[in-house]
Amino acid sequence: MPSPSSSVSSPTSPTASSSSASRTFASLVEEERPLQAASVAMEGGMPSCIKLFDHYLSCYCELRNVNHTLVIVRVLTPSSFGRAAINSQTRSLYRHGTVKDCSPQFKEFKFCLSLKAQTTEERDAIWVQRRSEMWARRRMEKNSEDVWEARKNVYDDSSVDKVKEWLGNAR
């Protein structure tokens, strides 16, 4: 059985974009860890493997949020599952130009199966680490945080005074 440290995704960090050069992968993982720990605790721990498998299958189906409960729009019998999957993937192809990639959900399901020998506390800790690394990778890519870094020191005091003067004259 793999050790908990070997079952966590590889430590290689993605390359940072030029605007996020000051952020390192390790520092972002450390920032994310308390957030993900709180999120996992709020959800009642790591999701079950069955729940992760349901997420994987729902990637191929049309779901709708009704009263904060996910409801499958069509009743999926074995014969209608193929049609629902084709409809969902066709819609994704039309809207986004590509079929929906369901491999992340399947990887999470396989990862869950690899943790069956661990205790609940170990599983939660490994899950928090995995989620922290996933969100750190997402934050290393271009995102809305880059806008705030780009806008630093854009305005100096004279431009703020000009805006206040203009607003005063407009009234």
User: Tokens 């003067």 identify what position?
Assistant: 165
* Token pair listed for 102: 């369901």
Percentage of the chain with pLDDT > 70? 65
Residues 118 and 114: their CA atoms lie apart, in Å, by: 9
pLDDT tens digit sequence for 16-69: 444 445 679 999 999 999 999 999 999 999 999 999 998 888 887 755 555 555
Is the pTM higher than 0.85? The answer reads no
Type of residue at 71 = V
**Domain assignments of the chain as residue spans, ordered by start:** 23-170
